[in-house]
């Protein structure tokens, strides 16, 4: 399959990007980034890139320039969406890399965005494949979108930072044998967090499929949210940072500089 990536500029393209968001996430119109805002991003130094299979848009990524507290500019990635039938084909990572390329062309050295730390697929892309890191847990940052079964309930986020000068990982990670697991995935149920200082590295496990947890246990997501939030917040407060993620193993947090 030959997928073309290109910046969006036409009204019809922005409207297609609305439809991609709606289909990819099952969003109601209220929760879609509208074409007027995407157009504003694209014409004001921001980035809006679509992935195309022939004439069909299969994915979109978008963002804008933000400022750190010290005034340093960075690229704030706002949304990445890929149609369900095109997932698992590398389109998401290709869009993210194109976004990074365009951000570097604008003189920016860092990209930031947030994601739900309980979503294993997103953790694998953001942390393991791209090499982003995190030391900031944002409780109740969003409410679940309208149209979702849990609409209106709060969703926590990890704020990730991606150094655009750092190469992506191209080799399997070698995890330290000494890393202590502080939240276990016990057959889909989280263990009680072991919140105590550990030497060097710790591991926080999450379910492989949080949606399956929700289907099997109505209170399952809240249990996982509470257990992992307390662990992330404790270790972040003590100087740890998420430095990797591995499917079926969890997040690796390190107290060492990266």
Q: Read off the pLDDT of residues 73-119 as tens digits, 9 standing for 90 and up.
A: 999 999 999 999 999 999 999 999 999 999 999 999 999 999 999 99
Q: Mean pLDDT for each consecutive 10-residue tract of the chain (258 residues)? A: 93 98 92 96 96 97 96 97 95 96 96 96 94 94 60 78 80 77 91 85 94 87 94 96 93 88
Angle (nearest 5°) at CA 120 between 144 and 162: 90
Buried b / exposed e across 66-89, counting CB within 10 Å, b at 16+? beeeeeebbbbbbbbbbbeebeeb
Q: How far, in Å, CA of 99 to CA of 63, rounded?
A: 8
pTM above 0.85, yes or no: yes
Name 137's Cβ contacts closer than 8 Å, sequence gap at least 6.
Answer: 117, 156, 157, 158, 159, 229, 232, 233, 236
Residue 50's Cβ-count burial label (10 Å; 0-12, 13-18, 19+) is buried
CB 246 within 8 A of CB 252: yes
Q: Read off the pLDDT of residues 182-195 as tens digits, 9 standing for 90 and up.
A: 999 988 899 999 89
Q: How far, in Å, CA of 105 to CA of 98, rounded?
A: 11
Q: How far, in Å, CA of 239 to CA of 180, rounded?
A: 16
CB 56 within 8 A of CB 82: no
Domain with CATH 3.40.630.30 in the chain: 3-163
Correct CATH for 3-163 of 3.20.20.70, 3.40.50.620, 3.40.50.170, 3.40.630.30: 3.40.630.30
């Amino acid at each position: 399959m030959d997928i073309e990536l290109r910046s969006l500029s036409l009204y019809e393209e922005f409207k297609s990007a609305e439809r991609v968001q709606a289909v990819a996430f099952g969003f109601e119109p209220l929760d879609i980034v509208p074409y007027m805002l995407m157009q504003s991003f694209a014409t004001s130094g921001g980035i809006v890139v679509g992935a195309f299979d022939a004439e069909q848009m299969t994915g979109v990524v978008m963002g804008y320039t933000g400022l750190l507290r010290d005034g340093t500019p960075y690229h704030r990635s706002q949304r990445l969406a890929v149609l369900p039938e095109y997932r698992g084909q590398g389109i998401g990572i290709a869009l993210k890399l194109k976004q990074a390329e365009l951000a570097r062309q604008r003189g920016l050295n860092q990209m930031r965005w947030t994601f739900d730390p309980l979503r294993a697929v997103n953790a694998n892309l953001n942390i393991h494949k791209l090499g982003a890191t995190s030391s900031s847990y944002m409780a109740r940052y969003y409410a679940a979108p309208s149209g979702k079964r849990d609409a209106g309930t709060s969703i926590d986020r990890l704020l990730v930072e991606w150094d655009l000068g750092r190469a992506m990982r191209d080799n399997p990670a070698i995890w330290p044998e000494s890393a202590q697991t502080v939240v276990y995935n016990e057959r889909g149920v989280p263990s009680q967090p072991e919140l105590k200082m550990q030497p060097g590295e710790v591991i926080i496990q999450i379910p492989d499929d949080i949606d399956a947890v929700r289907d099997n246990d109505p209170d399952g997501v809240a249990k996982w949210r509470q257990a992992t939030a307390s662990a992330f917040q404790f270790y972040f407060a003590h100087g740890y940072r998420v430095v990797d993620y591995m499917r079926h193993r969890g997040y690796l947090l390190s107290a060492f500089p990266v």
